[in-house]
Structure 1
């Protein structure tokens, strides 16, 4: 019976991850994957809920305080503005994502490595499906300058690719995975990010990849040199093709030229400044700094834009004030504590992306944070002896 229950929650989690990129309804509404996740949440809390280990309780308490603050701020503003429920609408997503985090912790505490491995392969399969759709032009809007695949806009695709990259690089630290498979996952995630032409996602992904190389070299896993050889082999192949066909293959590659054109305009587009991201409303309305202004009814504010503030941290600060922001930062700390500083980078670059986009409602972000929490007891041990490590992967550095 226990095996059947374990199988069911993993199947539901896999289906959720696989269906996550398929948006059939307008943004802001639950998608098909969210209904699968709600089944998993219900199943977990009805049949799998057990007493949490002591090491997870601080994280859970901060999560509940953070959710309570959001409920309080949005609830008070909904009443103050005459019962406008638009201000209260965003609360459902925080509650939903909070429930997802707690679900991952409840399920993952039994076998942290096993859940990290399962999520790695679930995300890898999801990325493979999206990459194949991209290569074969199976998604709507295949001729658009910026690809969205099955999402509603390209930025969602870019953030999805960035989160998948972060989840896989983090999970690969906890179980043996062949370098080839890891590089294929990295390649797929970078491909969908490049297709989205999201400047923030591209920059964050490149920086995350460079830090991954640095960490790999420091931990002497062999991944750094294997990766360097792969990159050199790729450029050598392109050189040979160009030499014998008299064609500039790299220059003629559509995604390459699109990314090049997009990045050359960095800082020049109309939305490449703080005011166009909504930061100006913080300076224009300092009275909301402590308690927060809530989310919604954005026409109340004097700002360059009339939409939500396009920044995760800035939106939290303006919407939920100093208290809400401090609780969020404390929640991040509660999740990553127990891990070495340099292992924070997959989560850190999601925050970097969030400087110009509001990614707080994206469930993969909260799943990544829950993974940090549930694997905190598996932090890397010190390396006393150098040399090759069996399997050439980060998991072999574990105690």
Structure 2
């Protein structure tokens, strides 16, 4: 007999058949008080109890807390119950690695990612403004920055397969002085995280080229080829992703990128920096991959640098700290989806499973195995300043465009300014930040 936590993409299997059949008499009064309760504060307390038990190798207590969490978790419950489901999966997977005698998990990962079509990806991006907010702010800033330029080169680091650029191409086509020639360069390597699509980078570039041709915008698409490994991206391990990033950085040179003096170079980072390790490489004097990346792109003398990411600090080494930050941040998309999708919506469950991928990596892995190392907008801003960048504010035209975008979504979404950042909010809570930068001396 095998007990399973079943999801819409895969399952976590516990070989111990009595794992979730602990007698209630063995549960402490404090844990009993949370039985079946979907209250967020109670769930957070249970998650922290479980984390502490795992860190102290107390398999019995961890099993008891997971039993209580399993009585709360539900794929088709309210937002807290659904979020608990994914945290429980991640904790079980972590426990299977550190307490193999008590429990076991089939396979090396609890998730097998689905591949979307380009059409499905468009619907995914449009579901909530999580990605569109960054697209809108960045495109507006780029459009303003390249006024008067006849040649533009965008170096694009993102995880959404150039979904940002059709809107910009459409705006450029309507420019009174005529569109500039547009060159977009993307790395052939991307972090192996959702969303994933069933087309190659080359096909993405071809489709974008067809759209640009339809809009009469001169267009060129280039890939930064990776020569470090012939290993398929689809089967890359976390260790090899670090090697791929290191190789990518070595290819960010003016000659390889074919930079031209008469082009306005734009560097666009959408949900990208979090996958670059923030741990120092080698000796204490060595910089992290994240800092090395920033130093390299600064040396390319970009006209403007756009950095967009989720506004939460999930880089802590402590498991309990990560759980607290992660739980109090990732309730946002679960709560937002609740406002317009039914509880059994496949689209909703698939979107939530992608958030579950993030939770798994944040909770189940440590060290270089943990590729999700998100830092807040304020911490990122300080990192950019340390690297020699100066922030520039977004204009009122950008603010107006973002407000118009948010009018298309639920009333809980809003926007605020924090210093020179624009921040997407849900019910007043920060979710995504957008920033614009120039190298020192170019402001």
TM-score, L = length of structure 1 = 0.27
TM-score, L = length of structure 2 = 0.25
Name the one with the larger helix percent.
1
Q: Using CA pairs below 8 Å that are at least 6 residues apart, which structure has the higher relative contact order? A: 1
